[in-house]
């Protein structure tokens, strides 16, 4: 039986390389104009709606979507080139990131025609932002144990009660795709009875509480739903099919280049300075790992382009990729004589501080490594 981890190589793409050069020229001009500064982990911490709109104007959001929904019908490899260059530059892409990466594809796959026409063009324009409503205060990577519930009222609308946690940039976003229980939990069928709702975050009864990370930054949140009335036509997909839909969505969440490039600005700053034997050896090890991980990530992008759903390889890439991101900070710290400080006048010292302070989140968001290894093991028939 062929391994579920076997993926065909990504074919060469001249179109992807052309758009890559266009993005590099754009980023060089934006940096020269001072419109942004390079930082670590900006796909979660770098919120700049004006920058997101610039990308939308250039056709770099919703790239693979049908034109009828504001998309551009380009390939996944072209989109990969764009996102890779934005991440490598440490550009402020957090506002639109989740909407473009997974919420839009989720709407394309499961949304109603009205939902698609209302929301997708705004995402592609860089004007509509989404958060992920999966994890809960007492249900982290074990999504089957969620307790947020939604029940129909007499008008056919959904009344939602519960809380979601680690909802990145909910305070800047317009919608959440929320995984809820629409039927009582069944111990014999843990994945049954769940559905997804499209929730407007401006609805009455929603409270967004900040969760600050080690550097005091605020992109994580707890979102509390207190008898929030969600219109009945905002069910996403089928009632009771939430688990299947979430599984498909996570393939987009876990497989992109952001799972290996969160700390790339630190690695690039280090590469420009490495000179001692220890520094060059560290640079060689990290570069070799990055090149291997990039090939894995690109193959998943190509699989998505073919219409496949590489959920098991995506879990693997997320596991080894985010481990690598943390290792970048740790290995560089060991060999440089540069104090890590957010206030350092040295770009390397600032990038090192940012990477260290964000490090606990790398292997948490998108599923902990322990959960991901279990997914891979099950996919290979080992448990």
Q: Which residues are catalytic?
A: 253
SS3 label, residue 219: strand
**Summary count for the chain: helices (H), strands (E):** 14, 8
* DSSP secondary structure code for residue 215 in this structure: T
Residues 47, 94 contacting (CB under 8 angstroms): yes
Q: In the chain, what's the furthest Cα-to-Cα distance?
A: 72
Q: Give the Cα separation of 8 and 46 in Å (integer).
A: 34
| Beta carbons within 10 angstroms of residue 237's beta carbon | 20
CA distance 359 to 313: 23
Beta carbons within 10 angstroms of residue 304's beta carbon? 23
Helix (H, G, I), strand (E, B) or coil at 335: helix
Distances (CA, A) of 304 to 79, 102, 241: 11, 12, 21
Beta strands, E only, 103-217:
130-133, 149-152, 158-165, 175-181, 194-200, 206-212
């Amino acid at each position: 039986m062929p391994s579920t981890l076997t993926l065909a190589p990504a074919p060469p793409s001249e179109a992807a390389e052309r758009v890559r050069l266009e993005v590099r020229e754009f980023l060089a001009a934006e940096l020269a104009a001072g419109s942004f500064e390079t930082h670590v982990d900006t796909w979660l911490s770098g919120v700049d709606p004006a920058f997101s709109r610039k990308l939308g104007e250039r056709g770099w959001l919703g790239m693979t979507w049908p034109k009828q929904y504001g998309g551009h019908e380009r390939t996944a490899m072209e989109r990969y080139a764009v996102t890779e260059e934005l991440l490598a530059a440490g550009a402020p892409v957090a506002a639109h990131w989740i909407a473009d990466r997974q919420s839009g594809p989720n709407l394309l796959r499961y949304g109603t025609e009205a939902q698609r026409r209302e929301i997708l063009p705004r995402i592609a324009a860089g004007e509509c932002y989404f958060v992920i409503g999966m994890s809960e205060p007492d249900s982290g990577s074990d999504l089957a144990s969620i307790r947020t519930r939604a029940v129909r009222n007499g008008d056919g609308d959904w009344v939602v009660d519960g809380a979601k946690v680690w909802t990145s940039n909910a305070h800047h976003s317009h919608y959440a795709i929320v995984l809820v229980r629409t039927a009582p939990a069944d111990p014999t069928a843990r994945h049954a009875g769940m559905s997804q709702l499209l929730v407007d975050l401006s609805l009455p009864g929603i409270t967004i509480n900040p969760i600050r990370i080690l550097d005091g930054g605020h992109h994580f949140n707890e979102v509390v739903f207190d008898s929030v009335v969600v219109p009945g036509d905002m069910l996403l997909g089928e009632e009771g099919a939430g688990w299947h839909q979430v599984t498909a969505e996570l393939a987009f969440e876990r497989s992109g280049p952001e799972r290996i490039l969160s700390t790339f600005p630190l690695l690039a700053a280090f590469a420009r300075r490495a000179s001692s034997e220890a520094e060059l050896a560290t640079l060689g090890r990290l570069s070799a790992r990055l090149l291997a991980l990039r090939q894995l990530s690109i193959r998943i992008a190509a699989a998505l382009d073919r219409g496949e759903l590489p959920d098991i390889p995506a879990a693997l890439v997320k596991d080894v990729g985010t481990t690598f991101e943390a290792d970048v900070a740790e290995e560089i710290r060991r060999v440089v004589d540069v104090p890590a400080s957010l206030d350092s006048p040295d770009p390397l010292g600032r990038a090192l501080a940012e990477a260290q302070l964000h490090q606990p989140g790398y292997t948490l968001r998108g599923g902990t490594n322990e959960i991901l290894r279990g997914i891979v093991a099950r996919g290979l028939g080992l448990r």
